Amino acid sequence: MDSYLQNLFADRIGGKSFGKGTEIYKFEKIKRAKRAAMAANPGAELIDLGVGEPDEMAFPDCVQALARAAAKSENRTYADNGGSVFKEAAAHWMQNVCGVRGIDPATQIVHSIGTKAALSILPACLINPGDVALMTTPGYPVFGTHSQYYGGQVHNLALLEKNNFLPDLNSIPPETLRRAKSLVINYPNNPTGASASPEFFASVVEFAKQHNLVVIHDAAYAALVFEGKPLSFLATPGAIDVGIELHSMSKSFNMTGWRLGFVVGNPLLVRAYADVKDNTDSGQFLAIQEACAYALDHPEITRAVAAKYSRRMDGLVAVLNRHSLPAKKPRGSFFLYVKSPRSAIGKDGKRVTFERSENFSQWLITEKLISTVPWDDAGAYARFSVTFSAKDIPDERRVLSEIDRRLAATAFEF
Ligand SMILES: Cc1ncc(COP(=O)(O)O)c(C=O)c1O
């Protein structure tokens, strides 16, 4: 018999049925397939191209800065929304790295305990029951999930290759647009790897003004670019009137576990975020903030990280192209988003067909011990991350030639 607890769960997480679903989610399916493949091939190397975070730890000087900052008594207290050292470094970084001038660290920047935390807090600032949250798909769903917790509805805009993986804002039905309050975009994008253009951002600002929308630009990968300067949404004329940008230390500085980012932009929106944040958490450890301020003052760290991903991208694109998989190097991020084949023909002439990218991904794990993340939300694609484990450049080459070897003698059909 169920405990009375079973009847107490809120509808937003499944109510009385919470925990009883039998559906297996994508990442669990990948995990299970990896476990089964390893059991069937003991001692073999599973090449993991499915990882969504850096393969290396933070740079030694950042770790030392953290150790120094952690030893300071004044850093021991609740940070709340404070931490002027980090705010000032963030404002300087916005100017120095993204070319966005004039950000006031006191009123236009508040830290986050990572972008994920900011995306989970912001719907509380904006979404009433019945409001629409415009999101892009495939994508990082956190803002949409929390919007639905508050009784909002999510309208997904498909990211399609024919539109360079930019959303078609004109596709939103007028009734949906009337109820829409927010638009979340993310460039460089997870999972497509696509970058935005200044023209696209300008059209977003115009659209937001026309339809009274708040724009939230999730810039978690913003600084990881392979050429030129990172493109901030806030560099767009008028962007500060309509939105905010979310930056993260996670990917640009190999600091996923450190949990720090910042919300920057329109002062009224930043203040609303700060209000709800104050009622949600007590801020990130000031020593982490101080060490991250050190990191922001050293953007050459991100340039070195990006150069590594760029080199790995070149290698992986060449390998995949050699086997007729249509990979195209993106301009940033660490994601290579590749159209899934319809079928594979093995050495023995046997054809395996893939109904969805999920089937292709499972086949890659089972048959080739190569793990990727499938996306079937807007076309069938597999996401290959260049954050695979390799201890140095020769090892990186070894991994790439191992992928090459494993894909040999298989022909893919589209
Ligand atoms: C698009 C996107 N946004 C946000 C995040 C979360 O980043 P953070 O570590 O800053 O919470 C991720 C992490 O994978 C992401 O891919």
- Say how many Å lie between the CA of residue 254 and the centre of ligand 1: 12
pLDDT digits (tens, 9 = 90+) for 39-86: 999 999 999 999 999 999 999 999 999 999 999 999 999 999 999 999
Write down the pLDDT at residue 260: 98
pLDDT at residue 97 greater than cutoff 90: yes
Write down the pLDDT at residue 310: 98
Average pLDDT over residues 116-145: 98
- Say how many Å lie between the CA of residue 220 and the centre of ligand 1: 6
DSSP 146-169: HHHHTT-EEEEEE--GGGTT---G
Looking up tokens 């979404």 gives 127
Write down the pLDDT at residue 251: 98
pLDDT at residue 347 greater than cutoff 90: no
Write down the pLDDT at residue 339: 98
Write down the pLDDT at residue 351: 96
- Say how many Å lie between the CA of residue 114 and the centre of ligand 1: 7
Write down the pLDDT at residue 22: 86
| Cis peptide bond upstream of 191, omega within 30 | yes
CA–CA separation, 253 vs 205, rounded Å?
29
Percent of the chain predicted with pLDDT > 70: 100
Residue-averaged pLDDT of the chain: 97
Q: Are 356 and 380 in contact (CB under 8 A)?
A: yes
Write down the pLDDT at residue 144: 98
Among protein residues, the one whose CA lies closest to atom 7 of ligand 1: 115
DSSP 209-274: HHHT-EEEEE-TTTT-BSSS----GGGSTTHHHHEEEEEESTTTTT-GGG--EEEEE-HHHHHHHH
Average pLDDT over residues 261-284: 98
Task: Enter the tokens of residue 176.
Answer: 């949906």
Pick the atom of ligand 1 nearest to 249's CA.
10
Please tell me the pTM assigned to this model: 0.97
pLDDT digits (tens, 9 = 90+) for 185-206: 999 999 999 999 999 999 999 9
Pick the atom of ligand 1 nearest to 119's CA.
4
pLDDT at residue 1 greater than cutoff 90: no
Write down the pLDDT at residue 24: 85
- Other Cβ atoms less than 10 A from the Cβ of 279: the count is 8
Pairing mode, strands 109-112 and 335-339? unpaired
pLDDT digits (tens, 9 = 90+) for 15-34: 999 999 888 889 999 999 99
Average pLDDT over residues 243-266: 98
pLDDT digits (tens, 9 = 90+) for 98-126: 999 999 999 999 999 999 999 999 999 99
Write down the pLDDT at residue 322: 96
- Say how many Å lie between the CA of residue 64 and the centre of ligand 1: 25
Burial 103-131, CB ≥16 within 10 A → b, else e: bebeebbbbbbbbbbbbbbbbbbbbeeeb
- Other Cβ atoms less than 10 A from the Cβ of 86: the count is 28
Write down the pLDDT at residue 211: 98
Write down the pLDDT at residue 409: 84
Pick the atom of ligand 1 nearest to 189's CA.
1
pLDDT at residue 335 greater than cutoff 90: yes
Which residues make Cβ contacts (< 8 Å) with residue 25, sequence separation at least 6?
Answer: none
Pairing mode, strands 243-248 and 47-48? unpaired
Show the ligand 1 pocket: residues with CB < 6 angstroms. Answer: 52, 114-116, 140, 186, 190, 218, 220, 248, 250, 256, 261
Q: Are 53 and 224 in contact (CB under 8 A)?
A: no
- Say how many Å lie between the CA of residue 116 and the centre of ligand 1: 6
Pick the atom of ligand 1 nearest to 256's CA.
9
- Say how many Å lie between the CA of residue 166 and the centre of ligand 1: 19
Pick the atom of ligand 1 nearest to 113's CA.
11
According to DSSP, residue 414 is labeled -
